[in-house]
């Protein structure tokens, strides 16, 4: 049996915690808010972040104490909003058991440093790459919370450790594939959120299938080019974490990024869309970081640049799309 601790009892942290518990592990959730800790520990329910699950498994508990949360953990899963990961993890430095594998579920690029979550987690905890794993795939939390069949990809520089994590989250409704392409998983998961914002925006503004398909396909080309420049394996982009996650996220109102974009497309301002957003829309802070990464690697990022103008300057959906029609003829 494996002891697994999940840092952050948000929607995905809690749903993934349930997967881990269903797979037979003893699961401890760590959260700051006492209401969430008490809810999971005493009532097997996270009414704040995942009310759709009436009764969480009984081999899942919670604590607000950092040292207690991680002291016996074989695997530590980080599911904190990406922009807060560095500051939150700093409090765990020195507490993580030496052989523990630290797994990130987060899909974002850190603003200002433009770093991926593998970089942020390893830097914050003083962790070596062999003990870090990323999990990314088409994993809308509410669907997995209701145990609908789904699959994901676990990436680690050490394939044995990837397999350990994959085994720990394998159930009869959740399947995990493994890879060593951590950079590919990080880039896929983070950049598809920017694409989902743009597709949602087009949908919210009333555009149809052709427009959505154009944004998704050109978005995939953009994230593949940027990912390859960052050192990713191009094959990853054609898999579950790439095309798979784009299909799920860009096609579902369960996605916070899609919904945030749809609200922008309906005419809400960025602040208004944030107010009605239910959970973190990682694409919003990540968009500027993607633009910066494009400049750093010398890779054109027309879609991220257009979405950045929406978020920073408030341009309309029509103007955002016009950015993609600059009159130049290029090879696809
Ligand atoms: N939901 C989904 O379908 C999926 C989400 N992901 C990714 O997983 C990550 C988490 O998403 P999700 O759980 O859905 O998000 P939620 O918005 O539901 O929860 C965010 C989590 O981050 C925590 N948090 C925010 N700020 C801080 C802070 N300063 N210190 C400590 N913790 C903090 C929140 O704690 P608190 O509750 O106390 O505010 C909460 O646990 C994101 O990167 C997301 O992109 C990946 C795949 C699927
Ligand atoms: O990453 C996700 C699905 O794979 C969840 O997307 P959102 O963060 O947009 O809800």
Which ligand ends up closest to the CA of 188? 2
CA distances from 31 to 48, 57, 187, 247 (A): 12, 17, 27, 31
Six-digit token string for 330: 């290029």
- Of 159, 136, 160, give the one whose Cα is nearest residue 223: 136
Q: Are 153 and 136 in contact (CB under 8 A)?
A: yes
Find the residues whose C-beta lies inside 6 A of ligand 1: 8-13, 31-33, 36, 49, 79-82, 84, 87-88, 105-108, 139-141, 279-280, 282
Angle between helices 182-204 and 283-297 (to 10 degrees): 120
Buried b (16+ CB within 10 A) or exposed e, 288-302: bbbbbbbeeeebebe
Q: Apex CA 282: angle with CA 202 and CA 311, to 5°?
A: 50
- Ligand 1: atom nearest CA of 137 is 47
Q: Whose CA is nearest to atom 37 of ligand 1?
A: 10
- Of 187, 218, 217, 214, give the one whose Cα is nearest residue 202: 214
Residue 226, SS3? helix
Q: How confident is the model at residue 66 (pLDDT cuts 50, 70, 90)?
A: very high
Q: pLDDT tens across 158-213, in order?
A: 999 999 999 999 999 999 999 999 999 999 999 999 999 999 999 999 999 999 99
CA of 331 to the centre of ligand 2 (A): 31
How high is the pLDDT of residue 184? 98
Helices (H) and strands (E) in the chain, counts: 15, 10
Q: Are 300 and 219 in contact (CB under 8 A)?
A: no
- Of 91, 88, 94, give the one whose Cα is nearest residue 71: 94
Tell me which of 115, 192, 266, 295 is the catalytic residue.
Answer: 192
R_g over Cα of the chain: 19
Q: Apex CA 65: angle with CA 62 and CA 68, to 5°?
A: 85
Helix (H) or strand (E) holding 62: strand 60-63
CA distance 166 to 175: 8
How high is the pLDDT of residue 278? 86
Residue 149, SS3? coil
- Of 93, 103, 99, 105, give the one whose Cα is nearest residue 74: 99
Angle between helices 182-204 and 117-125 (to 10 degrees): 130
Q: How confident is the model at residue 326 (pLDDT cuts 50, 70, 90)?
A: confident
- Reply yes or no on whether 192 is catalytic: yes
In the chain the domains, ranked by start, together with CATH numbers, are 3-180 (3.40.50.720), 190-322 (1.10.1040.10)
Predicted confidence (pLDDT) at residue 315 exceeds the cutoff of 80 = yes
Predicted confidence (pLDDT) at residue 281 exceeds the cutoff of 90 = yes
Q: pLDDT tens across 69-106, in order?
A: 999 999 999 999 999 999 999 999 999 999 999 999 99
Residue 137, SS3? coil
For the residues 133-144, what does the mean pLDDT come to?
Answer: 98
**Helix, strand, coil share (%) of the chain residues, nearest 5:** 50, 15, 35
Contacts of 283 (CB under 8 A, 6+ apart): 193, 194, 196, 197, 257, 260, 261, 307
CA of 328 to the centre of ligand 2 (A): 33
Q: pLDDT tens across 231-276, in order?
A: 999 999 999 999 999 999 999 999 999 999 999 999 999 999 999 9
Q: Whose CA is nearest to atom 10 of ligand 2?
A: 255
Parallel/antiparallel/unpaired status of strands 150-156 and 3-7: unpaired
CA of 185 to the centre of ligand 2 (A): 14
pLDDT > 90 in the chain, percent: 97
Q: Are 166 and 134 in contact (CB under 8 A)?
A: no
How high is the pLDDT of residue 162? 98
CB atoms near residue 181 (< 10 Å): 25
Q: How confident is the model at residue 332 (pLDDT cuts 50, 70, 90)?
A: confident
Which ligand ends up closest to the CA of 117? 1
How high is the pLDDT of residue 322? 96
């Amino acid at each position: 049996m494996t002891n697994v601790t999940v840092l952050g009892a948000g929607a995905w942290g809690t749903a993934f915690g349930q997967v881990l518990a269903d797979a037979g592990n003893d699961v401890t959730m760590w959260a700051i808010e006492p209401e969430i800790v008490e809810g999971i520990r005493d009532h097997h329910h996270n009414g704040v972040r995942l009310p759709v699950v009436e009764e969480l498994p009984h081999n899942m508990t919670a604590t607000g104490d950092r040292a207690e949360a991680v002291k016996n953990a074989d695997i530590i899963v980080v599911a904190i909003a990406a922009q807060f990961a560095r500051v939150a993890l700093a409090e765990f430095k020195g507490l993580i058991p030496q052989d523990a594998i630290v797994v990130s579920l987060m899909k974002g690029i850190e603003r200002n440093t433009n770093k991926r979550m593998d970089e942020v987690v390893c830097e914050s905890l003083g962790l070596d790459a062999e003990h870090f794993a990323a999990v990314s795939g088409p994993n809308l939390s509410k669907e997995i919370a209701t145990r609908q069949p789904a699959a994901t990809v676990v990436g680690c520089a050490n394939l044995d450790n990837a397999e350990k994590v994959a085994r720990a989250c394998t159930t009869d409704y959740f399947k995990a594939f493994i890879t060593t392409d951590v950079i590919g998983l990080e880039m896929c998961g983070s950049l598809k959120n920017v694409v989902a914002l743009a597709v949602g925006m087009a949908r919210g503004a009333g555009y149809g299938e052709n427009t959505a398909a154009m944004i998704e396909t050109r978005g995939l080309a953009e994230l593949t080019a940027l990912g390859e420049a960052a050192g990713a394996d191009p094959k990853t982009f054609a898999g579950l974490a790439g095309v798979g996650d784009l299909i799920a996220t860009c096609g579902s109102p369960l996605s916070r990024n899609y919904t945030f974009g749809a609200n922008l497309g309906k005419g809400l301002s960025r602040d208004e869309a944030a107010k009605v957003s239910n959970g973190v829309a990682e694409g919003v802070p990540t968009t500027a970081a993607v633009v910066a990464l494009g400049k750093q690697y010398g890779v054109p990022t027309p879609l991220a640049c257009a979405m950045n103008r929406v978020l920073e300057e408030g341009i309309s959906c029509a103007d955002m799309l016009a950015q993609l029609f600059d009159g130049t003829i290029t090879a696809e």
